[in-house]
Structure 1
Amino acid sequence: MVSEFFAVIDFKEIFTASMILFAVIDIVGSIPIIVDLRRKVGHIQSEKASVVAGILMIVFMFVGESMLNLIGIDVNSFAVAGAFIIFFIALEMILGIQLYKDDQPETAAIIPIAFPLIAGAGTLTSVLSLRSEYYAINIIAAILINIVFVYAVLKNSGRIEKAIGKQGIDVVRKIFGVILLAIAVKLFATNIKELF
């Protein structure tokens, strides 16, 4: 049984899945958002946000498609909805406006960091796509690798802000806003065709 378990561990699959999730989660591109949140709420619960995001991804990998089917939503519709969310986040980053408003939260952990920033619609859709190609154990390993990196970025967001500076943060925010906008358009274009 143990030998069978290790037989399906494929480091190439783990590496590929890790890179895909790293690109979709884009925690480096989210640094300006994290810094903004930290300014607003004063404290980010890095451990809680990382653990919840990891659990969300792993659970969704196993039950996501069944959950969506149960409420009559297909993966493509879910991805299109995710594209809209990413689109509006990108607009906030590029134009420097605030579309998402919260009733002055005291801390930031589950919302909006764990969901939708880390384990958002794009990430969850990617996890479902990977599930059809790779063994579950390799995807779980890829998720855990990304969560460790996410935790490191969340924990050190203050130091990263000091290293880059306010102008640097603004430049990074606008650059990654454009990249995020392109991801939203691609996600929308790819999945909208499947709906018609």
Structure 2
Amino acid sequence: MEYAALITAFTTLFVIIDPPGLAPLFLALTQGMSAPQRRAIAIRASLVAIGILLGFGLFGEALLGFIGISMPAFRVAGGVLLFLTALDMLFERRQKRREDTAEEEEAEPDHDPSVFPLAVPLIAGPGAIATMILLVGQTEGALGFAALVAVLLAVMAINFAFFMASGLIERALGKTGINVITRLLGMLLAALAVQFILDGLRSFGFAA
């Protein structure tokens, strides 16, 4: 890939994945967790998202076509799942589940958002997947693909750095501030989920 193409690929992926916008969502989804737990979740989410984006970049179009799933249908499904997560954030269902299982000190955490919704659909959402499919289609040869992989890893490294900085945000806001932000972000997530669904339906001609 040429230098200008690398810059374009980096900018596109950065805007689509939106690390600054994901940081507060990561904070809300990992509320009350320790720093090691957050680090482990951030690592898992990043690795899963990288694997998904690379996999779809290489085989996405063929795979979706083979099993009869369109990108609009994928977007609608992601929107529905994201909306359910937004309801959990709005009504503190995750916190109640934690309290119900808090009898054992060393019990496993009852909520791990690393795969869903962090890796999918927040990081590797329909937009990022479609972008990877498009960018891979524009590359030439193994060298071009390797350059694109390097660009993706750079964006994901920045995203991971934003995730790790979320603890500073939590200490600055305190428990009350985090609770308020969690509700607000739940509303934003619900709106984002509805937008995903509308975008998918629009592609089928069901929405204006």
TM-score by length of 2: 0.71
Q: Confirm or deny: 8 A CA contact 1:25 1:117 kept in the other structure.
A: no
Partners of 1:116 and 1:66 lie apart in 2 by: 24
The one of 151, 160, 164 equivalent to 2:173 is 164
Partners of 1:9 and 1:108 lie apart in 2 by: 43
Shift of 1:169: 1.0
Matched with 1:152 is 161
The one of 14, 29, 44 equivalent to 1:18 is 14
Q: Confirm or deny: 8 A CA contact 1:34 1:154 kept in the other structure.
A: no
Residue 27 (str. 1) matches residue 23 (str. 2): yes
What is the number of residues matched between the two proteins?
A: 188
Q: What amino acid is the match of 1:172?
A: I
Q: How does 1:38-187 map to 2 (within 5 A)?
A: 38=33, 43-44=37-38, 45=40, 46-98=42-94, 106=108, 112-113=113-114, 115-121=115-121, 123-131=124-132, 133-134=134-135, 135=138, 140=149, 143-187=152-196
Partners of 1:24 and 1:108 lie apart in 2 by: 27
Shift of 1:180: 1.2
Shift of 1:107: 6.3
TM-score by length of 1: 0.75
The one of 200, 203, 206 equivalent to 1:191 is 200
Q: State the Cα deviation string for residues 1-39 of structure 1 (Å, max 9, x = none).
A: xxxx33563414421331121179723323111224x26
Q: What amino acid is the match of 1:59?
A: G
Q: Confirm or deny: 8 A CA contact 1:94 1:174 kept in the other structure.
A: yes
Q: Which stretches in structure 1 are left out of the alignment for 5+ residues?
A: none
Partners of 1:73 and 1:152 lie apart in 2 by: 34
Partners of 1:93 and 1:184 lie apart in 2 by: 13
Shift of 1:146: 3.4
